[in-house]
Amino acid sequence: MKAFLFPGQGSQRKGMGKELFEKYPAQTSAASNILGYDIERLCVENPDRLLNETTYTQPALYVVNALSYLDRIEQESAPEFVLGHSLGEYVALFAASVFSFETGLQLVKRRAEIMGQVKNGGMAALIGLKLNVVEQLLADNGYTNMDIANYNSAEQIVISGTKDDIAAAQALFERKGAKLYYPLNVSGAFHSRYMKTAGDAFRQYIQQFTFNAPEIPVIANYTARPYTPAVLIEWLAAQITSPVKWYESVSYVLAHGEVDLYEVGPGDVLTKMKDFIIADPMPAAGFGVTPIVRKPAADNAVVFNTAYAKLLGTADKAALEATAATLGSEAFRKTYNTKYAYAAGAMFYGISSVAFVTRMANAGYMSYFGTGGLSITEVETAIKQIKAAVRPGQPYGMNLWHQAADPVAEFKLAALFVQQEIRFVEAAAYVGLSKAIVYYRLKGLQKDVNGNVTAVNKVMVKLSRPEVAQVFLEPAPEQLVRELVAEGFITAEQAEWASSFPMADDICTEADSAGHTDRRMPYALLPAMRKQRDDLQAIHQFRTPVRVGVAGGLGTPDTLAASFILGADFVLTGSINQCTVEAGISSAVKDMLQEMNIQDTDYVPAGDMFEFGAKVQVLKKGLFFPARATKLYELYKRYDAIEQIDTKDKTQLEERYFRRSLESVFQEIKGQLPAAELEKALKTPKHKMSLIFRRYFSNSLQAALSGNADAKVDYQVHTSAALGAFNQWVKHTPLSTWRNRHGDELATLLMHGAAAWLQTFYAAPPFSSGAATAAVTPGPIRKPVQLV
């Protein structure tokens, strides 16, 4: 079964729905007539920033959500449940045929006008406290005029009240253990007693309408139960003054069986929220329906143990754990406070998500949140969510990616990490040092309690070229250090200390994998980089030598074992982690990834480095994207302008790749370009062509992230053969489906499996006279390598 979730206020963004208005002209025209303004222009261009005003926000979101639903069901069956968050509930009712598209918009228009008149109220989001604790704190501290507005998950709650009360309560909640108290940018105390006048006015307005019985169960915010014809008017009016029971609503849906949840509309607010609800739903017993099939923690352990037994046999788990804990570098484990020399790398656009990083951290594994492609605001929000959910002292980090075309944005990201005291970063896509990465590294130089200078900001850099490795194996360049001092970003003392530290603590040699690599073999790459490290360490005599690990091709225990035999200080996995429950990519993509084999990938031009011909590895099975991406690059090399492309190819691009004219694509892009970039595109036809072609890459990536069924053949899915190998390893076990895969459990299986493989390897001839299955005492597995 599946349920569609429709977002409410907060999900609006400039450009939303731009691909839908042309596809649904009748609904677009009807919406503009009802509203009295051009809905397409409002959503795509956001004139005068009207999208953030309640009166405009609600109708715009209703229209885009509704068109998104129509687009979705053209390609797949209707869901078994629909529910929407606040405003999104009207789209759910439309989807269930309770009223027409036009009637729904009339209701929303009036609702927005009434709610937009409410002023002088405020709301704040709270993370880290249970509902009963929040209610008790309000009661015990005199805040009896504040209400619960949203109950979003077990420990994510929104409160409403006067602006003064919202501001005054912040100190109380932070003192009482709230991990995040975040005042929202709203004009009214929505979903509270302060909306009574608005609720009464809306109740009177909707009396004139006649509604149909829902054709699909619609779960109401007001009660967390399905709407019926008898209660429609009362529940819609009550929703304005009552809390949004989102946590209970989603739990109610999950209680009916194995239900997949899909967010339909702009943004991913509900997608991020659902992972926390799935991990800790309300008990099914209270709903009077079939107990949930999604397994609670105890049953998850049964699934994991079943897979463990099938994959590793009757091996002594404790012995394997002890051996696995000796693999790689002890210094790595101590630095990152992890039980194994294992990490999960960042995946752009938050695919290595808040939920993924949180779960890995709380299980004692190092992982990095994927910041690439996200705004600075989205990254800051993710940091706060992770901090709120991760237990103190547990390891996690953030991705810092090189932005050669926008060094200001890169520096802002580094500054955010410094401000938020992010101690671990994974540096990626660097071809040399930037001011941002040097600032982050040196800003973390400080004296410890014993007076020793230490680097508290740790850098792990992923790379595959010796010339890039060199700049990270040496101290920061003096010129950049001087600039940072002169600009006031670091102190003179930190500049003086800089020469005593390399730029990185760890180098991850990235062999053939998804993402930008040179497709090198780990058996050539790792030894060469380690030799380079040893040579430079002999020169600089750093107190702590840079550790060298490996990534790429790691999908089975024997590949991890081979890496440790080769001398890797640590291993870092990638592709296997995007096919897990917590990964921030659509279920549709995960369904495809769990079926791939090692031959199901291809190398194609990278959208972000299109002009240079750089390539990335992507899934090709069942997709047109690899062929189309390659065709676009071939056309770019062959022609100097769009106008030179022959008619047949141009028609194919417009009808199949972009589904509209190439000129309309450029007109859309123009409004999003910096002035200098636009001037370059207007003067250089080939650059204009590049910008248009690159839009296909960004569209295909967004389609994969959201699970847009209409664009399924164009999904851009970065992955490597390692995932195909992993799929073959876990075939015929409970882990054959991604719905049973969790990053921390995959890490345990791989590390224990590597330990088992190495024990067998060293127990067999020529290393031992015993049988291949003879037991060996767990110990530092790296030592016997010297016997070879």
- In contact, 569 and 528? CB cutoff 8 Å: no
The helix/strand/coil state of 67 is helix
Which of the following is catalytic: 11, 68, 153, 191? 191
Contact 178, 128 (CB under 8 A): yes
Closest CA to 552 of 515, 513, 524, 579: 513
User: Can you tell me the distance from the alpha carbon of 172 to that of 562, in angstroms, rounded to the nearest whole number?
Assistant: 54
Q: Distance (Å, rounded) from C-alpha 244 to C-alpha 611?
A: 48
Angstrom CA distances, 516 to 16, 524, 607, 669, stand at 30, 18, 11, 25
DSSP line for 364-381: T-EEEE--TT--HHHHHH
Question: CB neighbours of 675 closer than 8 A, spacing ≥ 6?
Answer: none
Radius of gyration over every alpha carbon of the chain, rounded to an integer in angstroms: 28
> Is-contact 563 571, C-beta < 8 A?
yes
In total, the chain counts a number of residues equal to 788
Q: Read off the tokens for 345.
A: 């790398």
With residue 443 as reference, give the H or E element that holds it: helix 435-443
Sheet of 81-84, strand order: 81-84, 2-6, 260-263
* Active-site hit among 86, 160, 249, 353: 86
CA angle 108–109–114, rounded 5-degree value: 95
- The Cα–Cα gap between 396 and 746 comes to 17
The token pair that represents 728 in the structure block: 């073959």
Is residue 31 within 8 Å of residue 105, measured between CB atoms? yes
Which residues make Cβ contacts (< 8 Å) with residue 45, sequence separation at least 6? 14, 671
Rounded to whole angstroms, the Cα distance separating 663 from 681 reads: 13
C-alpha triplet 601, 604, 610: angle, nearest 5° = 155
Residue 101 sits at φ, ψ, to 5 deg, of -55, -45
Cβ-contact 109, 59 below 8 angstroms: yes
DSSP class of residue 643?
A: G
Residues 131, 233 contacting (CB under 8 angstroms):
no
Active site residue 86: yes
219 is written with which tokens? 């779960």
- Confirm whether 191 is a catalytic residue: yes
Question: Measured between alpha carbons, how far is 341 from 266 in angstroms, rounded to an integer?
Answer: 39
Q: Which residues are catalytic?
A: 86, 191
